[in-house]
Structure 1
C-alpha cells in the first residue's frame, strides 16, 4: 500500500516529462521551419474542430484544426495538419507555410513569432515544472511520514 504513494507521483512525473519533451519538439520544429527560409503557398483543404472536456463540472474546450496542402520547390506535394490555427483561415484559403527541406511534412502556417513561441513554451514548461516539484515534494514528505511512522511502530 505504501508503494502506491510512490508509484502514482512517479507516473505523473513521467507523463509530465513526456509532455514537456513534446512541447520542446514542437517549438524546435516551428523554429527550424521559420529559420529555413523555405516558404510555399498552401491551400487550406479542410477545417475541423475537436472538443474535449464537458463531463461533470468541467468546461468544454474547442480547438480549430486545419489541413493544408502545398508543393515544395522540388515539386513534391505535401499535406499536413496543424492544430490550433486561426479562425480566420477557411477552406480554400491560400496561406504562406514555412517548412524545412528535409521534413516538409512538419511545416507550419503560423507566422514567425519567436517571442510568442518562447513565451508559450516557457509557460508550458514552468507549468509542468510546478507539478513535477509538487510530486517530488509529495514523495519526500510521504517517505518521511512512513519513516517516522515505522519508528513508532517498532517494539
Structure 2
C-alpha cells in the first residue's frame, strides 16, 4: 500500500528544493550582471555610442494594464575597430543620432554599460537579487516543511492530534 501522506510530503519537499534552486540561480545570474556592470563602469574603456534606432514595446501586466518600454539600439566602435550594437531599455528618451557615453570591457564589449548621470546601482538589478534570495528562502521553507524538518502547526511529531497526556 502506498503511503500517500509521505509521498505528498516528499513531492512537496522536492518542489521546495526546486524553487530554492531557481531562486539561487536567479540571484546568482543577477548578481553576476550587477558585478559585470560595476566592473565595466569602474575599469572599462570609454566610447561614444550613437543611437541608431528606437522602438517601444508594450507589456500587459497581470492586472490587465499595459506598460510601454522604450528601447534604443546603440552602436559604437571599440578601440580595436570592432563595431558593436546594443539593444538597451531606457527611461531617458533617445532619438536617432543622440550620442550616449558607454563603458565596456575589452574582452566583452557586447555587455557595455551606459554611463548615466547617476552612477548608483540600477535598482532593478538589486531588487532582482533580493527577490531571488527571498524566493530561495521560501523554497527552503517549503522543502523543510515537506521533509518534516519543521512543523508549522506546532504539534509534537509523535502526537497526531497535537494533544499530549501528562501523567
* TM surpasses 0.5: yes
CA shift at 1:127, angstroms?
Answer: 2.7
TM-fit CA distance, 1:4? 2.7
Q: Using a 3 Å threshold, how does the CA distance of structure 1 residues 66 and 127 change in structure 2: closer, same or farther?
A: same
Task: Determine which of 59, 73, 76 is the counterpart of 1:70.
Answer: 76
Cα separation, partners in 2 of 1:123 and 1:71, compared to 1, 3 Å = same
Q: Which has the higher helix share?
A: 1
Partner of residue 93, structure 1: 98
Q: d(CA) in 2 for partners of 1:150 and 1:48?
A: 63
1:139 aligns with 2:143: yes
1:12-35 residue CA offsets vs partner (Å, 9 max, x unmatched): 222222211221121112112112
Query: How many angstroms does 1:37 deviate by?
Result: 4.5
Gaps of 5+ in 2: 1-7, 161-167
| Structure 1 counterpart of 2:50 | 43
Q: Is the 8 A contact 1:34 1:112 kept in 2?
A: no
Aligned residues: 150
**Partner residue of 1:3 out of 10, 14, 19:** 10
Q: Secondary structure at the match of 1:35?
A: helix
Structure-1 separation of matches of 2:80 and 2:57: 33
Please state whether the residue corresponding to 1:47 is helix, strand or coil.
strand
Structure whose alpha-carbon radius of gyration is higher = 2
Residues 150 and 6 (structure 1), Cα distance of their counterparts in 2 relative to 1, 3 Å cut: farther
TM (norm. structure 1) is: 0.76
| RMSD of aligned residue pairs (Cα, Å) | 3.0
Q: CA deviation at 1:86?
A: 2.7
| Bigger relative contact order (CA 8 A; separation at least 6) | 2
Verify the 8 A CA contact 2:13 2:144 in the aligned structure 1.
Answer: no
